[in-house]
Amino acid sequence: MPADRTQQQVLLREYLPIRAKILEIAAALDRMDRAGQPLAEGAQEVDQTRAQLQQALAVLQQAEPSRAERVQQIFSLPYDAHWQEAFGMTCQC
Amino acid sequence: MVYIDPHIHMVSRTTDDYETLARMGCVAVSEPAFWAGYDRGSALGFRDYFEQLTAFEPQRAAQYHIQHYTWLCINAKEAENVALSREVIAMIPEFLDRPGVLGIGEIGLNKNTRNEATVFLEHLDLAARTGQQVLIHTPHLQDKYQGTRMILDMLTGDRRLKRHRVLVDHVEEHTIRAVLEAGFWAGMTLYPVSKCTPERAVDMVEMYGPERLLVNSAGDWGPSKPTAVPDFIMEMRHRGHDERLIRRMVYENPLEFFRQSRQFVFTPPEAFETTRV
């Protein structure tokens, strides 16, 4: 149930915070680049993490709604419906 | 506006925070048992902690005219130690009839391990056998979605539990729908960085409505803001939401949930609309 606000009203209020947050992300990415090459041990993890961040950033450019939920899923471990069997626990279902 | 914080760890906060909360309109807090930041060495440590939660903390809160309620458990982090957990679970019934004890919590999962799940189920069994309400912690960050789904599997697998008496806390955009659709209460925690912001919490109120939805600060010993519920109130007002809706979210909904506990005795503030200075 949204309050009665127009897109213009929302944009007017959200523009500066969005701008600031985009700048924070941009600066953090620049910071990573300036830090030099990763150590060999852990380099794969760095690459995977950066890929995850890029994947999440790509969601922001998509027109479909529920971007926040999709970003959350990118940063989430998957769920296995058979976890109780894997744990050797009795399925209560 | 008066409000209730349904999830805050006041044992880790100073009396300065009680004074600030009181000045900002807080009339009651609900404090689940949690991880102190280190692993306790024995069940005796938990006995002392439960004594602090049920006896000392309500007195400290009362000095600032705040009513204090509590929940008891061994938290998800320390639940990895199953033997210790079983000692603590066996001790909990001694405290369940104390004034202000609302139920079992905050139980849950942390890293979604087999031991954590085992202890979670044993807490649920205790709650079912003793007719207690349940308050649940869902994991942080990357573990949240997986852990919440596992928790819902365990909850829905126990037909003794009344879903309207169970609160699944720390929901976010990717977990709230499943919790609400399953018939449980959902709590949104306003926590810097690792959980939700007031803005995103208001988004979720707008998307899902106020039914069975709570908002809390989960103020504790780490980076947190005990005055986060007033931040939520302000964001609701900034967006033009009705005062009745705001009051429902921060006062009436907590009361509706807590009234289901036999140990919940609440004295409404004398002047509901008076702003505390």
Contact indicator for B78, B116 with CB cutoff of 8 Å: no
pLDDT tens string, chain B, 277 residues long: the values are 999 999 999 999 999 999 999 999 999 999 999 999 999 989 999 999 999 999 999 999 999 999 999 999 999 999 999 999 999 999 999 999 999 999 999 999 999 999 999 999 999 999 999 999 999 999 999 999 999 999 999 999 999 999 999 999 999 999 999 999 999 999 999 987 788 999 999 999 999 999 999 999 999 998 889 999 999 999 999 999 999 999 999 999 999 999 999 999 999 997 544 444 3
Q: How many domains does chain B have?
A: 1
User: Of B197, B204, B211, B218, which is closest to residue B137 (Cα–Cα)?
Assistant: B218
Give the DSSP per-residue string, B5-65: ESS--GGGS-HHHHHHHHHTTEEEEEE-----SS--SSHHHHHHHHHIIIIIHHHHHHTTT
In a domain, B263, yes or no: no
Would you say residue B124 lies in a domain? yes
ipTM associated with this complex: 0.90
CA nearest neighbour of B161 among B206, B203, B211, B121: B121
Q: Do B157 and A92 touch (CB under 8 A)?
A: yes
Is B252 inside a domain boundary?
Answer: yes
Structure tokens at A16: 């500066």
Contact A73 B142 (CB under 8 A): no
Q: Is the pLDDT of residue A52 over 50?
A: yes
The first and second tokens of residue B258, run together, are 């807590």
The pair of three-digit structure tokens given for residue A53, joined into one six-digit string? 């961040």
User: Residue A31: in which H helix or E strand, if any?
Assistant: helix A7-34
Which residues have a Cβ under 8 Å from the Cβ of B274 and sit 6 or more positions away? none
Distances (CA, A) of B145 to A48, B97, B207: 20, 34, 19
pLDDT of res. B223? 86
User: Regarding beta strands B133-137 and B166-168, do their DSSP bridges make them parallel or antiparallel, or are they unpaired?
Assistant: parallel
Q: A92, B153: Cβ pair inside 8 Å?
A: yes
Does B270 map to a domain? no
Question: How confident is residue A2, by pLDDT bands cut at 50, 70 and 90?
Answer: low
Rounded to two decimals, the pTM is 0.95
Among the partner residues B112, B157, B240, nearest to A3 by beta-carbon distance: B240
For an interface test with A, the pick among B149, B238, B244 (most A C-beta atoms closer than 10 Å) comes out as B149
Domain range for B47: 3-258
Q: Is B223 on the interface with A (CB under 8 A)?
A: no
* pLDDT number for residue B277: 37
Domain-located, residue B272: no
Q: How far is A60 from chain B (nearest CA, A)?
A: 15
- CA-wise closest residue to A84 among B140, B117, B137, B125: B117
Q: Coil, strand or helix: which one is A92?
A: coil
In this structure, chain A runs to a length of 93
Mutation for testing the B interface, residue in A15, A59, A77 having most B CBs under 10 Å? A77
Residue B85's closest CA among B95, B72, B74, B69?
A: B74
What CATH number is associated with residue B182?
Answer: 3.20.20.140
What's B231's DSSP letter? H
The partner residue sitting opposite A72, judged by closest CB among B118, B154, B174, is B174
Q: How much is the average pLDDT of A9-35?
A: 94
Calculate Rg over the CA atoms of chain B.
17
DSSP B48-95: HHHHIIIIIHHHHHHTTT-EEEEEE---TTGGG-HHHHHHHHHHGGGG
Chain A nearest-CA distance from B158, in A, is 7
B73 domain-assigned? yes
CB neighbourhood size of B59 (10 A): 9
